[in-house]
A and B are shown apart, each in its own frame.
Chain A
Amino acid sequence: MIERIDALRGEGEAAIAAAATTDALEQARIHYLGRRAELPNLLRGVAQLPPEQRGAVGKAANVARKALEQLIEARGAELAGAELERQLAEDRIDVTLPGAPLPPAGGLHLLNATRREIEDVFVGLGYTVAEGPEVERVYYNFDALNHDPAHPARLRTDTFYVADDVVLRTHTSPMQVRAMEQHPPPIFLIVPGRVYRRDSDATHTPQFHQIEGLAVDEDITLSDLKGTLLAFARAIFGDERQVRLRPHFFPFTEPSVEVDVSCFNCKDGLTREGARCPLCKGTGWIEILGAGMVDPNVFGYVREHGYDPERIQGFAFGMGVERIAFLKHGVSDLRLFYDNDLRFLEQF
């Protein structure tokens, strides 16, 4: 009996080793360890054996069965691994095909992206953001901003009118007075928005965007204006920038200045190739905005709201978003901003 067990074990071991597939291995398992196989049957028949044989035969059969089971398991793992590898090899793909496209990201219009960039700079400097009405009273657009009654900007050749005393605002400055009517000093405010002037060519569109700034307190100085705009210019155009103030004239600021930023396209007016820089026209400076100290006459319109011109002072500035975007991104014609051609929009 013991010999038979040893023989079965030997046959089984050979069959398991010879099984080349998981199917063949399963056949071998059924043949040697299945319900009708001889070895399990021997085990089941142990009870009929004479008692003195039972122990030895039972033990031998058990050992043989366990050994075969272990071999099957090991061989099975081996075969399954090999078969998986074979399968994976068949699943090979052409990795050079294009990836499945994600929905492409859209984007903000360059003007609004620029507007946000500027807003964020001033929010960081402690300013809040306010919008005012685009259809505006002449009072806020001109009168309270110290434009004399004959100021040419009031002409119908220059300004859109919707009624005798209502215009499409020509700048974001009307919000200066509106804001001061609503809040006592100190006030630190920027006003982004659409404005309108009757002008149309490569450097003017009848609708454009401005950002107004207003800082009013008891001790705000022209030097503070310079420092503020220097911080702005560096944030937008790079940390190496300088700003330069040039005296100018605006009805609602006194003193008034135009502000230049040092050119970021050249060194001292010359490009790297040694040509005259087209951006700054060789001057090394680019005009970016107008500014000044709020004219006492403007405070006169909001005196009863806490703005006594003898006690309160501050600065205001106004910049064109188109101009900033156009300088920073080299856009050749301002009208491109309003064509909304996707070939343009997708670039930014």
Chain B
Amino acid sequence: MRVPLSWLHEYVKPDLDAAALAERLALTGTEVERVVHHGVLSVEGFVIGRVLSAERHPDADRLNVCRVDLGGAEPAQIVCGAPNVAAGQTVAVAQPGAVMPDGTRLRKAKLRGVESAGMILSEPELEIGVERAGIMVLGLDGGKPAPGTPLADVLPLATDVLELEVTPNRPDCLGVYGVAREAHAATGAPLAPAPWSEDVGTGGPVEGAAVAVETDRCKRFMARVFEGVTVGPSPPWLKARLMAAGMRPISNVVDVTNYAMLLTGQPLHAFDLDRVAGGRLVVRDGQAGDELETLDGERRRLDPEMVVICDADGPTSLAGVMGGARSEVHAGTTRVLLESAVWDGPNIQRTSTRLGLRSEASGRYEKGLAPEQAQDALALATRLLVELCGARVAPGTIDVDPPGGRDRTNRTIRLRDARVSGLLGAPVARERSAEILSALGFLVDQADDGLDVTVPAFRRNDVTREADLIEEVARIDGVDKLPATLPASGLAVGRLTPAQRLRRRAADTLAGAGLHEAIGWSWSAPELADRLRLAHDDPRRAAVVVENPMSADHAQMRTTLLGSLLDVARRNVTHGTGDVAIFEAGAVYRPVAGRELPDEPYTVGVLLTGAVRAPSWREPAPPAADFFAAKGVLAALLGALRVAWALEPAGEPFMHPGRAAAIVLGGADGERIGWIGELHPSVAAAWELSGAVAAFELDLDRAIEQVPGPVRYTDYTSFPEVRQDLAVVVPQAVAAAEVVAAVRAAGGPLLARVEVFDVYRGAQVGADEVSLALRLAFRSPERTLTDEEVAERRAAIEAALAEQVGGRIRA
């Protein structure tokens, strides 16, 4: 909403410059996006001139050399290119030194060898109209204005303009007078009477025109008939005001409707009454087959949810959005039917969205206007049509309510003093509340414990409860001056839950291990499942589908983090960062049969590719990330959470068949919570990744559920540990985990720890054998172990290795 300050000042004139007024409005709830300047920057050098003579330029057919009286001793010589310049005209002149709206400073110049001391102006050059065909010829009334008169005395040359962002609850501020009321309340400056207070029209029946309303989507339909209309250009002041407010002048009749809309917030529409077939309008819902050519020349197909205004020949106007071409006011129009109607806001919004057609009118209607406003705008426009278009207003006013009747709610709400201070945390004097509410147009009566406040029609939808009144008082009195306090109860106890702390710990562990956290999109492409080669019945193919995605790549919710991790890896590799170590922690989305909302398990994914460390002079070629690099990260992650876990060889369709495993909780056969491995090279290639790509993904919430409570202290000082090493040769097919499991089972409770610390393949063992070096630690919490006890356990372990995994002890 553009509000020219010069226009606003007709109704309220606070002693504040544009910036200060903007700030005051912003702090009372009317956001000012910016303050702009419209028109010339300075009125200096712009004067009235009279053309004394205009003669053809000796060397240029299109130029005239004019002698122009500017009120000085000698007329000025001005070269003018406009075809319509002629002796006797009163014109607007910019003298040398004047600064045009675009910032150029005018100088004396020679045009084809002839001196020119200024410029005779057209409307667009002053930003006060759009007539480009020639210079602006001003009317002359009894010798006035006299040559040399400052142009600013005659035309509105410059104004600051407030660009307001009006919140959807305040359609009353979509008119200049509504903004004036707001400025009046915000600054205390007096408010002039409403411009519609004086109505030159009359009530009662109208002859020669009729309206029927058949739908409740019309909230009120008012109209008047005007005869003897002369369509032509509007006077310069009106054009200038529309231009400053951001609308193009068209013709006096249309300009009057726009002017009244800009001032009152209520849109109007003028029909050429001679083009209303049958002289009768019917307002109804659209029907199948309804079509209409709107003013912009487009043919529109209507649907039953749209409201249309019809005459005897069918649809002639699209209610609340745009008039029809067939009944448009034109140069020869002499009889006008002026519509001032109110429509259902949401319906207008739907229609304008559906048709992709937004207008100044629809933008106002969709916020929901009060039926009472139709009367105000009609009164104002009546006066202007009579004054500016030579029209006579026919007796009577058409005023039709919808079949269900019109909203006449007249609400009175008690505003309790105690409630005001109780909600705000600071008192506001009752007199101050009354003053504020009166300034905003509310009626105020005293009550025992506060005020009885009656809501004006134009705030009917917005103010319905005591809290709404408190907001009105608070915003005008100034929320910025409230004290800053903290809640007093002291009942609040802040903490993170154990699960939240463990999620943080997991992320910190990964970051500490050198990984960077990425945040991918929650969406994925449906083709991702194919690129990951998921089987047709893989549960990860079942996704939550977005009905209106912004792109095909984001058409469904992700069921795995792998897609976004690969996207991030590709992006970095193609941008020259080949060594990537990243993780993401967040939701994946799994539809659940029979439930409205999906599961959103908190999942963590890790991806490594390229060198695991930066090269250095000690290690010029550090190893590339592989399965064991990822497993090391996994061990760090689950170790930090103190969760027991294991890997079981198991494939995933997107992984290297020999380097993949399932992550299980507890020991073997525990619950599967994820996968780990190197990606299948052909899957990695689909993301343009050529080296090994190691990754894992697991359901972190499931892991966190397994985190034991507080760890209990284990005595490590009273009885020493006995450490021994053991080397065992086993067939290559035997997994290290099987060897460890056999050792653990045979070692019994006295075996505190066992770990693999070396792996050897080569000349000293058979071709299909591998030697594992194990470190064993024996300990009893109750006594110091004897050599015999340890030897017995070791013998049992050696026997178990021989028996269960075909192991042979190496000397």
Which A residues have a C-beta under 8 Å from some C-beta of B?
A: 97-98, 100-101, 103-109, 111-112, 116, 119, 122-129, 133-137, 148-150, 152, 155-157, 160-163, 165-166, 168, 186, 188, 194, 196, 198, 200, 206-207, 215, 217-224, 226-228, 230-231, 243-249, 254-257, 293, 295-296, 313, 337-343, 345-346
Contacts and interface: CB of A to CB of B under 8 A. Distances in A.
A336 to B, nearest CB: 11
A217 B546 contact: no
Interface stretch (B148-156, B507-515, B642-650, B731-739): B507-515
B168 interface: yes
A342 B167 contact: no
Contacts of A345: 516-518, 582
Interface in B602-631: 613-614, 616-618
Contact of A162 (B350, B546, B618): B546
A98 B616 contact: yes
Interface in B432-482: 465, 467-468, 470-471, 474-475, 479-480, 482
A123 B482 contact: no
Interface string B582-597: 1100110100000011
Contact of A133 (B346, B470, B600, B618): B600
Nearest to B462: A249
Given A222-B424, A255-B474, A249 B168 contact: yes
A256 B26 CA distance: 13
A137 B511 contact: no
Interface of B: 26-29, 31, 167-170, 345-346, 349-350, 353, 422-426, 465, 467-468, 470-471, 474-475, 479-480, 482-489, 491-497, 500, 504, 507-508, 510-523, 544-550, 554, 557, 568, 571-572, 575, 577, 580-583, 586-587, 589, 596-598, 600, 613-614, 616-618
Most A-side CB within 10 Å, residue of B425, B487, B549, B571:
B487
Given A126-B494, A248-B167, A194 B522 contact: yes
B519 A337 contact: yes
Given A107-B511, A134-B600, A135-B589, A247 B479 contact: yes
Contact of A256 (B349, B471, B488, B600): B471
Contacts of B557: 135, 162, 168
Most B-side CB within 10 Å, residue of A122, A155, A219, A254:
A254
B357 to A, nearest CB: 14
Contacts of A119: 496
A125 to B, nearest CB: 6
B440 to A, nearest CB: 13
Contact of B519 (A112, A162, A206): A112
A128 B484 contact: no
A157 B358 CA distance: 15
Contact of A101 (B169, B583, B616): B616
Contacts of B470: 254-255
B522 A207 contact: yes
A166 B546 contact: no
B349 to A, nearest CB: 6
Q: List the 9 closest A-B pairs by CB distance, nearest first.
A: A126-B492, A223-B425, A221-B425, A150-B346, A247-B29, A247-B475, A255-B471, A249-B167, A227-B484
A222 B474 contact: yes
Contacts of A104: 514, 614
A219 B496 CA distance: 25
A336 B454 CA distance: 52
Given A112-B517, A152-B349, A296-B467, A129 B497 contact: yes
Nearest to A209: B519
Given A135-B598, A255-B479, A340-B519, 20 more contacts: A97-B617, A100-B616, A106-B510, A107-B511, A109-B516, A122-B494, A133-B600, A134-B587, A134-B589, A135-B600, A218-B489, A223-B425, A223-B426, A224-B487, A227-B486, A230-B484, A246-B31, A293-B467, A340-B572, A346-B516
Contacts of A207: 521-523
A160 B483 contact: no
A198 B513 CA distance: 36
B546 A168 contact: yes
B574 to A, nearest CB: 10
A198 B485 contact: no
Contacts of A226: 479, 482-485
Given A293-B423, A293-B467, A342 B572 contact: yes
B618 A100 contact: yes
A234 to B, nearest CB: 10
A101 B614 contact: yes
Nearest to B504: A116
17 contacts: A97-B617, A101-B616, A106-B510, A107-B511, A128-B496, A160-B547, A160-B548, A162-B547, A188-B487, A217-B489, A222-B474, A226-B483, A249-B29, A249-B170, A340-B519, A341-B575, A345-B517
Contacts of B167: 248-249
B416 to A, nearest CB: 11
A316 B290 CA distance: 48
A251 to B, nearest CB: 9
Contacts of A122: 494
Contacts of A168: 522, 546, 557
